[in-house]
Amino acid sequence: MTDTLARRLAEIEERKLLAAQRASRHNEDVTLVAVSKTFDADVIREAHSLGVRHFGESYLQEWQSKVDVLPEDIKWHFIGHVQSNKIKHFDGRLHLVHAVDRASVIKAMKKEDAHQHDILLQINVGGEAQKSGADPAQLEALLERCVNIPNIKIHGLMTVPPYHDDAEESRPYFVALQRLLDRARTWLDRHELLLEHPCDQLSMGMSGDFEVAIEEGATLIRVGSALFGERDYS
């Protein structure tokens, strides 16, 4: 496994670098989040030994079973659907929660105030009925709910565009998320809230389209299968 993993990681790092260069961006401004859902702790340990520090998980119980047995310097990203009744398990060991998309979740986080919640708002830019994510029209309303809560820090936006085989099909959705981030920053600025902490993160791009996402401003790319291989959900 290590040989394959090392080779795939090197390949992804190279493609990431080239995409950043094409966009005249600094490669260090884009963080690779290795999506390790369905892969066991040994695989994560190997990736960690190769230098990967950011890992993404989608299922609470699975993350909980891994976090205790893995190195403490791992930065854990929760990228799955967030349910209000699970927030009590979102402890300080989570680095960033990517997919907050409704007021009830924000309310639940406010209540769990023993630690800080670092979050992104998930926006359904494709307007797909079956997908999570807030409607773009709700952006300011969600921001307004977050901003005066001392234990919630909103760092930016996240999206999962409609699935296509052709990565170019994702580009308009990535451009749309970048514009929504501008809109969020304008709103925060007008309320003199931008200076308290930066709201500048764009979580977008997966195995099939991360290069296009980098070209359109992604700061966090979520790459699973291109790094670890196909997932087996059985």
Ligand X SMILES: *Cc1c(COP(=O)(O)O)cnc(C)c1O
- Choose the stretch contacting ligand X; rule: CB under 6 A; options: 4-12, 165-173, 179-187, 216-224: 216-224
| Residue from the set 160, 176, 204, 220 that interacts with ligand X by CB under 6 A | 160
132 binds ligand X (CB under 6 A): no
C-beta of 161 vs 188, nearer to ligand X: 161
35 binds ligand X (CB under 6 A): yes
Residue 222 C-beta: closest distance to ligand X, Å: 4
C-beta of 151 vs 225, nearer to ligand X: 225
- Calculate Rg over the CA atoms of the chain: 17
At residue 83's C-alpha, the angle toward residues 35 and 33, to 5°, is 15
- Choose the stretch contacting ligand X; rule: CB under 6 A; options: 137-145, 169-177, 183-191, 224-232: 224-232
**E-assigned strand segments in the chain:** 31-35, 54-57, 75-78, 94-100, 117-122, 152-158, 201-203, 220-223
161 binds ligand X (CB under 6 A): no
At residue 141's C-alpha, the angle toward residues 140 and 146, to 5°, is 95
Residue 233 C-beta: closest distance to ligand X, Å: 11
Sequence-separated (6 or more) residues with CB below 8 Å from residue 135: 123, 124, 127
Smallest Cα–Cα separation from 204: which of 137, 109, 145, 124?
124
C-alpha to C-alpha distance for 210 and 126, rounded to whole angstroms: 17
124 binds ligand X (CB under 6 A): no
84 binds ligand X (CB under 6 A): no
C-beta of 132 vs 178, nearer to ligand X: 132
206 binds ligand X (CB under 6 A): yes
58 binds ligand X (CB under 6 A): yes
Residue number with the smallest Cβ distance to ligand X: 224
Quick one: CA torsion of 63, 69, 75, 79, rounded to 10 degrees?
-10
- Spatial contact of 184 and 169, defined as CB atoms under 8 Å apart: no
Q: Which residues bind ligand X (CB under 6 A)?
A: 35, 37, 58, 79, 160, 206-208, 222-226
